[in-house]
Amino acid sequence: MKNKINLFNPRHPRHPRAIKTMKQRINLLIAFSVVALIVLSTVQCYLVKTTYDYKVAQFHTEIKNEIAQISNNYSDIDSVLVAKKEALYKSLSENYLQGKNSKIDIKNSIVKNEFSALLTQKIQRKFERELPNLKIDFAIVLNKYILYKNSKKADTIFCEKPFISNKLYGNLASLNNAFLVRNYVGTTNGTFENQDYSLLTEDSMYVSVIDWEMIILRRMTFILILSLLSILTLITLFVIAIKALIKQKKVSDVKTDFINNITHELKTPLATLGISTKILEQKNIRENDENFNAIVNTISRQNNRLQNLIDQVMANSLAENEIELQKEKIETEDFLLSIVNDFKITFPKINLKTDFQTQKTILVLDKFHLTTAFLNVLENAVKYGSKTITIKTRIIENQFSISIEDDGIGIEKNKQSLLFDKFYRVQQGNLHNTKGLGLGLYYVDQIVKAHQGSVKVVSDLGKGTEFTILLKV
């Protein structure tokens, strides 16, 4: 004996509890993927930042070495100016020892020396000559000025942190964006009142390379491109994976809806067949021909209904390129009128109107499949609350246009693109009479495509829907 599948078993994959568990797993997987993407992107950005810092340090080292070789001292730039500077320092020192100058006077005299502009120009030209690919601004600032006498302690006339206000030479206006290249310590020896003394000075050179950030970025071009491609690849794979998960979840939901719908559709004829069979077991029914024939007719109708349900599922499992059409030349307006007349008999309470702006249009069509397709659209309009339906025909850009407009409840914008998906059914409105298999509009789309035509829908919620079918003339 075969095991029966209980759709209401909590362990069955289509049970609501199992569906909820599956949705939770998908949501958990999406959340984990988002976290993983963020972590990987963060790591990638950290690696790029580390590489950037390394390139900056490497660049600074290169600049320091090159500039240090160019300006190790000032004598190779202009020995005359260097001699003048040493003479100035010696004169200021001896005046200080005589008490003629204060410490403030010495500082001001050094900072405002007369050869500052000329030495700045000479150093700048040397940078331009030796480093033509770099645009460099610089500043040389005085840090220390200390006198040493044999018989006394060191006399610190000047000792400060590097400040731009203590600039001796250069064109930098600030040290904020500059970096230290080298410190230069100079000594001057002299004799005052038969006593030897020594002068120690220390100055620092700071440089700023114009657009050094762009130089670093150019050096990192390859790394940045690889990092960007890696991040884009991760994001692309993530989006593809999420779309696949969402699509899988949607397919699962659609299959669940389909099973629920077909179960509902099958229950009614099966229940009727079961009741009819039990009635036939009664002797008085079998002996009454009228009642017997009525029950037999009921069984026959329900059997046909079951067969139609099975045929509908089988027919709609085909793609448009697998449908075999039996085409023939027909007068399209008469063909549509025959469908309208049959529909009025089935639904006499529906106000079905026609507005044909074409006459005697001959098309090569499959009457059987297109009849079913048009009836599916009309019955769908009735299911969703339509009381008035208008069928219009016209010629649009060498195509025969058939529009079916209703005054039903309409369809939300975000659901219109799903209307022609297999097994999809609009859930809005919560109307009891909208039971079905979700195959009607899918079948319409497949049949129209098999005729090399197209179908589109325009709808506003609460204002009705218009389906437009275009066929080749």
308's tokens: 């139609």
> For 22-26, 369-373, 428-432, 437-441, which range has the lowest pLDDT when averaged over its residues?
428-432
| CATH number of the 320-472 domain | 3.30.565.10
Query: How big is the CA angle at 79 (ends 76 and 83), to the nearest 5 degrees?
Result: 140
Query: Which of these, 191, 199, 123, 110, lies nearest to 154 by C-alpha position?
Result: 199
Q: 406 near 369, Cβ under 8 Å?
A: no
Higher-confidence position of 2 and 427? 427
> For 60-64, 72-76, 167-171, 341-345, which range has the lowest pLDDT when averaged over its residues?
72-76
One-letter identity of residue 434: T
Res 392 pLDDT > 90: yes
Q: 226 near 51, Cβ under 8 Å?
A: no
Other CB atoms within a 10 A radius of the CB of residue 303 amount to: 13
Give pLDDT tens digits for 206-249: 888 888 878 888 888 888 888 888 888 888 888 888 788 777 77
pLDDT value at residue 137: 87
Question: Cα–Cα distance between 306 and 267 in angstroms, integer?
Answer: 10
Res 50 pLDDT > 50: yes
When the pLDDT of each residue in the chain is averaged and rounded to a whole number, the result is: 79
Res 11 pLDDT > 60: no
Calculate the CA dihedral of residues 103, 107, 109, 111 and round it to 10 degrees: 180
Q: How many CA atoms lie within 13 A of 344 on its CB side?
A: 12
Question: Cα–Cα distance between 301 and 286 in angstroms, integer?
Answer: 19
Average pLDDT over residues 182-189: 81
Res 375 pLDDT > 70: yes
Res 163 pLDDT > 50: yes
> For 119-133, 260-274, 325-339, which range has the lowest pLDDT when averaged over its residues?
260-274
pLDDT value at residue 432: 39
> For 180-194, 209-223, 263-277, 424-438, which range has the lowest pLDDT when averaged over its residues?
424-438
pLDDT value at residue 380: 83
pLDDT value at residue 220: 85
Res 425 pLDDT > 70: no
Asked whether the whole model's pTM tops 0.75, one would answer: no
Res 5 pLDDT > 80: no
Average pLDDT over residues 47-72: 80
Question: Cα–Cα distance between 217 and 237 in angstroms, integer?
Answer: 28
Q: In this structure, what are the phi and psi dihedrals at residue 355, rounded to the nearest 5 degrees?
A: -140, 80
pLDDT value at residue 12: 44
For the chain, which residues make up each domain, given as ranges? 16-40+221-315, 72-213, 320-472
Question: Cα–Cα distance between 332 and 353 in angstroms, integer?
Answer: 16
Residues 6 or more apart in contact with residue 201 via CB below 8 angstroms? 89, 142, 144, 145, 146, 185, 186, 187, 188
Residue with token string 């302690």:
153
Give pLDDT tens digits for 108-162: 888 887 778 888 888 888 888 888 888 888 888 888 888 887 667 788 888 888 8
Question: Cα–Cα distance between 68 and 458 in angstroms, integer?
Answer: 76
pLDDT value at residue 405: 92
Res 436 pLDDT > 60: no
Higher-confidence position of 337 and 241? 337
Q: How many CA atoms lie within 13 A of 38 on its CB side?
A: 6
Query: Which of these, 259, 293, 232, 279, lies nearest to 40 by C-alpha position?
Result: 232
Question: Cα–Cα distance between 278 and 404 in angstroms, integer?
Answer: 45
Give pLDDT tens digits for 24-36: 777 787 788 788 8
Residues 6 or more apart in contact with residue 179 via CB below 8 angstroms? 60, 63, 64, 206, 207, 208
Question: Cα–Cα distance between 400 and 394 in angstroms, integer?
Answer: 6
Q: What is the 3-state secondary structure (H, E, C) of the chain?
A: CCCCCCCCCCCCCCCHHHHHHHHHHHHHHHHHHHHHHHHHHHHHHHHHHHHHHHHHHHHHHHHHHHHHHHCCCCCCCCHHHHHHHHHHHHHHHHHHHCCCCCHHHHHHHHHCCCCHHHHHHHHHHHHHHHCCCCCEEEEEEEEEEEEEECCCCCEEEEECCCCHHHEEEECCCCCCCCEEEEEEEEEEEEEECCEEEEEEEEEEEEEEECCHHHHHHHHCHHHHHHHHHHHHHHHHHHHHHHHHHHHHHHHHHHHHHHHHHHHHHHHHHHHHHHHHHHHHCCHHHHHCHHHHHHHHHHHHHHHHHHHHHHHHHHHCCCCHHHCCCCCEEEEHHHHHHHHHHHHHHHCCCCEEEEEECCCCCEEEECHHHHHHHHHHHHHHHHHCCCCEEEEEEEEECCEEEEEEEECCCCCCHHHHCCCCCCCCCCCHHHCCCCCCCCCHHHHHHHHHHHCCCEEEEEEECCCEEEEEEEEEC
Res 6 pLDDT > 80: no
Higher-confidence position of 129 and 253? 129
Q: 340 near 381, Cβ under 8 Å?
A: no
pLDDT value at residue 22: 64
Res 419 pLDDT > 60: yes
pLDDT value at residue 356: 92
123's tokens: 């150093």
